[in-house]
Structure 1
Amino acid sequence: MDWIELFFLHPVSFYQGAAFPFALLFNYLCIWDSFSTWARYLFLLAGGGVLALAAMGVYAVLVFIPAACAVVLVSSLGPQDVHRWTFFFQMSWQTLCHLGLHYTEYYLQEPPSPRFCVTLSSLMLLTQRVTSLSLDICEGKVEPATGGIGSRRCVSEHLRKALPYCSYLLFFPALLGGPLCSFQRFQAHVQASSSLCGCSFWALTWRGLQILGLECLKVVLRGVVGAGAGLTDCQQLECIYVLCATAGLFKLTYYSQWMLDDWLLHAAGFGSACDRSTGEEGYVPDADIWTLETAHRLALFTRKWNQSTARWLRRLVFQQCRRWPLLQTFAFSAWWHGLHPGQVFGFLCWAVMVEADYLIHAFADSSLRSWPLKLLYRTFSWAHTQLIAAYIMLAVEGRSLSALWSLCNSYNSVFPIVYCVLLFLLVKRKHKVN
């Protein structure tokens, strides 16, 4: 159970909470006209630098270097080339850092430094912002900095043009977590005359109460999981109970962290309650707990799980692929997460399950006529969706080969196998019909 303990002892929540007063201070200072736009950019950037040093220590350099290189590339390359080169550099850098984690965990057989784990998490979020910005420039949504690094403009002019990009890539409310915020939306909020919202107090209070409730549920469920058997020593149907309890604890941890990230962004004035029109889709929170817990379709669960990341993957990979877009999207997600054995298996299994989900529900919609059968089917599909999601979650979070082997050898493997069999039969039937 070491990998579970490592997951729940992650220190990101502590530093997100420590940044909360500074987010409120930024929101308050934005009321005053004397707090200029450039001062706001500097405040957010300086806060990101301080938070990175506090949370990551010397590893913060691994975040500062790619952020600086991304700004140089964005400022020097044309719209046609900027996305290709920034994507290549950022993913290469992130992959090298993940390989360092592989070396520590699998070769040296040592637990990774918590600060290094925080750094990798921040790097993954930085990749989202870098690629989102480069895509916006490539698609003409954001005007690139003119002149380039090699122009004859003075240094101060270069720095003035680069400051919004630097601030966006390292601004402290989103440095360690939170939904992806586009550069357009970030710039609109910073340049607005006031970030403080009249309803922000009640929005923050409600989110604080939700976080408190989720943390209380986590304490209760952690005691249940800790007192029971694990996947390595569970017996037959007991493994299904272990699967549900452990996945429930993972879900509560994710929900709590997403709510905390959302809370911090609201405190800084970047939340949905403070949304302003930017000509694009507004704020997208990562946690839609009700939809996730009531979803009877795995495809819906997939779209709503970590919503901003799901939309980012759809834009970055799915919409760019002509062949096998679903498989390529989940394969890239495994690469982005670090290519641990459990992650590779989990995300590829997820892709197959979603493909099966489309065919199964299309067949059911055309075959079931009476409402009792539809109700019964919806109940069984809800249960199966939640069990498959739990199975994938344990595979991805387990990461190592030993944890993956324990999961695959348990009775829980029946659930994805059922979907695989149905996928095979429905594909065969579809070919016959065609």
Structure 2
Amino acid sequence: MADDDARTTACTGSSLLQPVSEITDLPLDQVNFVVCQLCALISAFWFRLFLHPSKTSPFIRHMVATLLGLYFALFCFGWYALHFLLQSGLTYGIMILTGVEHMHNPMMVITQKITSLAFEIHDGMARKEEHLTAGQKILAIRRMPSLLEYFSYNCNFLGILAGPTCSYNDYIAFIEGDPRRHRDQEADRKSNGKPRQSEPSPNVEVVRKVATSFFCLLVFLSVCKVFPVERNIDDDFIANTPFYAQVVYLYLSMLTTRPKYYFVWTLADAINNAAGFGFNGYDGDGSPRWDLISNLRILNIEFATSFKVFLDNWNIQTAHWLKRVCYERCPYHPTAATFILSAMWHGAYPGYYLTFLTGIVITLAARAVRHNVRPHFLHSPTHKLVYDVITWAATQIAICYTVVPFVLLSVGPSIKFYRSWCFSLHFTCILLAVALPVKPRHLRLKDQQKGLQRRLEVADANCSQKEKST
């Protein structure tokens, strides 16, 4: 009875589905979340079919997307959903009052969409065109959003519960019915001289992603209790288990925690696709791509052969946000600054900071190995295969070692785990980063530019010689 009461009071949202929670033995907040996401999936199909941009105005689409989003938030979170309105309203006021020159500064550690929007407005209305990168030019916002557009972008039903985040321009283009208007569409329009369908159906992709998400959910429910992460810090386990077995168990315990993220993010992606949002052009064979706002690539994660590849395919939209608002703009130590911002964004638990501080060290070491060691293994396919196998194993163990505090959250258990490993990866990575130095990013970019310039000069010289000979 006490467990039932705890389950009921832990959820601030609707108790309508309490019977389902009791039947499935799942917390009510999780039941509410999954049901709301399934309702959002159905609503997304309806939104695309009956409120298509060819049938209704952007005002109606913005209004419906916002109201549905707020309703789902109220159902899941109850009065806590006021946080969405309060945060969005306050930050919109800040944007209007501070002006485009300074609006990006007071929002650095709030939410992804708000900070992205602030920087994109600053890029589009306060900076000169020649000072923007190619990516910043695409995403730059040239006019101040209306209040309705702003609330629709932040609180729409497609992403209010689980994201993923997206750029403002992409979202507005979707609402107004031209999802690729501000990007280069030339490659999308023709394939071998043949015009392509301007608005392909997402149905096949949605079915695939929904099936994938529920397969991941079944896997998680089947194995999540078999390899609990907490056993990694159990005294008997540490004392009586050989180190190689501890390594294997660490990998299995972290491997079985990932499917829950796969379920949530893949289903969220499917919901957006069902509404027609997420189209990203065509592959070389003419197949439509629906990965504009995808948050992960499962196979690339599980078979990653470097720390960077893993991070590039995990929580992709958050990585894009960190790159756009921090890494590309931070003049000093951008890697460290990006990891620290990521920890601050995740929350106040000390485990987040331990994870991301460890991530800085491992990233620097992985970069050093890649730049200094990898070239020696590229001379033959066999050597490359050996390198890939070794780096896959090293990457998986390094990721597991790094994210244990992210799961444990508290300082004591996290330090206990690292102590049981004698902080071995920390020390190893520091030694690698010191022994195998890598040039700073701005110097690497200069070298690349010099190399490109030399190749162009050689090409020009060859052309001149051919012209003389003819």
Relative to the length of structure 2, the TM-score reads 0.72
- Deviation for aligned residue 1:367: 3.6
Q: 1:31·1:193 contact (CA, 8 Å) conserved in 2? A: no
Larger Rg: 2
Q: Distance in 2 between matches of 1:241 and 1:193?
A: 49
Would you say 1:145 and 2:167 are equivalent positions?
A: no
Query: 1:71: which partner in 2?
Result: 92
Give, as a single letter, the amino acid of the residue that structure 2 aligns with 1:202.
Answer: V
Q: Distance in 2 between matches of 1:267 and 1:15?
A: 15
- Deviation for aligned residue 1:205: 1.1
Q: Distance in 2 between matches of 1:318 and 1:429?
A: 17
Is the alpha carbon distance of 1:33 and 1:359 closer, same or farther for their aligned partners in structure 2, counting shifts above 3 Å?
closer
Is the alpha carbon distance of 1:338 and 1:292 closer, same or farther for their aligned partners in structure 2, counting shifts above 3 Å?
same
Query: 1:381: which partner in 2?
Result: 391
5+ residue gaps, structure 1, are 95-126, 147-160, 276-280
- Deviation for aligned residue 1:229: 4.2
Q: Distance in 1 between matches of 2:149 and 2:233?
A: 49
Is the alpha carbon distance of 1:14 and 1:398 closer, same or farther for their aligned partners in structure 2, counting shifts above 3 Å?
farther
Query: 2:161: which partner in 1?
Result: 176
Is the alpha carbon distance of 1:325 and 1:62 closer, same or farther for their aligned partners in structure 2, counting shifts above 3 Å?
same
Give, as a single letter, the amino acid of the residue that structure 2 aligns with 1:183.
Answer: Y
Give, as a single letter, the amino acid of the residue that structure 2 aligns with 1:297.
Answer: S
Question: What is the root-mean-square deviation in Å for CA atoms of aligned residues?
Answer: 3.1
Provide Cα deviations, 1:269-310, integer angstroms capped at 9, x if missing partner. 2123789xxxxx981311111211121111221222211111
Q: 2:120·2:141 contact (CA, 8 Å) conserved in 1? A: yes
Query: 1:306: which partner in 2?
Result: 315
* 1:123-142 map, 5 Å: 127-140=111-124, 141-142=140-141
Provide Cα deviations, 1:180-203, integer angstroms capped at 9, x if missing partner. 211111111111189996522212
Instruction: Judging by fraction of residues, say which structure has more helix.
Output: 1
Give, as a single letter, the amino acid of the residue that structure 2 aligns with 1:272.
Answer: F
Q: 1:31·1:194 contact (CA, 8 Å) conserved in 2? A: no
Q: 2:361·2:426 contact (CA, 8 Å) conserved in 1? A: no
Query: 2:436: which partner in 1?
Result: 426
Give the one of 199, 204, 208 matched to 1:206.
208
Q: 2:53·2:177 contact (CA, 8 Å) conserved in 1? A: no
Is the alpha carbon distance of 1:200 and 1:419 closer, same or farther for their aligned partners in structure 2, counting shifts above 3 Å?
same
Q: Distance in 2 between matches of 1:190 and 1:184?
A: 10
Would you say 1:164 and 2:149 are equivalent positions?
A: yes
Provide Cα deviations, 1:33-54, integer angstroms capped at 9, x if missing partner. 5532211110011111111111
Give, as a single letter, the amino acid of the residue that structure 2 aligns with 1:382.
Answer: W
Is the alpha carbon distance of 1:407 and 1:32 closer, same or farther for their aligned partners in structure 2, counting shifts above 3 Å?
same
Q: Distance in 2 between matches of 1:429 and 1:330?
A: 20
* 1:334-353 map, 5 Å: 334-353=343-362
Q: 1:137·1:143 contact (CA, 8 Å) conserved in 2? A: yes
Q: 2:278·2:291 contact (CA, 8 Å) conserved in 1? A: no
5+ residue gaps, structure 2, are 1-6, 11-25, 125-139, 181-197, 283-289, 441-470
Q: Distance in 2 between matches of 1:34 and 1:79?
A: 35
Q: 1:71·1:166 contact (CA, 8 Å) conserved in 2? A: no
Q: Distance in 1 between matches of 2:103 and 2:291?
A: 25
Q: Distance in 2 between matches of 1:194 and 1:420?
A: 45
Give, as a single letter, the amino acid of the residue that structure 1 aligns with 2:116.
Answer: S
SS of equivalent residue, structure 2 residue 277 = coil
Provide Cα deviations, 1:82-129, integer angstroms capped at 9, x if missing partner. 2123x15xx3xx5xxxxxxxxxxxxxxxxxxxxxxxxxxxxxxxx111
Q: 2:53·2:176 contact (CA, 8 Å) conserved in 1? A: no
Provide Cα deviations, 1:246-266, integer angstroms capped at 9, x if missing partner. 211221111111101101111
| Deviating more after overlay: 304-313 vs 375-384 | 375-384
Q: Distance in 2 between matches of 1:219 and 1:162?
A: 42
Query: 1:241: which partner in 2?
Result: 248
Identity %: 22
Q: Distance in 2 between matches of 1:32 and 1:319?
A: 35
SS of equivalent residue, structure 1 residue 172 = coil
Q: Distance in 1 between matches of 2:396 and 2:304?
A: 8
Query: 1:252: which partner in 2?
Result: 259
Q: Distance in 1 between matches of 2:322 and 2:242?
A: 37
- Deviation for aligned residue 1:365: 2.8
- Deviation for aligned residue 1:346: 0.7
| Deviating more after overlay: 398-407 vs 133-142 | 398-407
Is the alpha carbon distance of 1:182 and 1:360 closer, same or farther for their aligned partners in structure 2, counting shifts above 3 Å?
same
- Deviation for aligned residue 1:60: 1.2
Would you say 1:407 and 2:407 are equivalent positions?
A: no
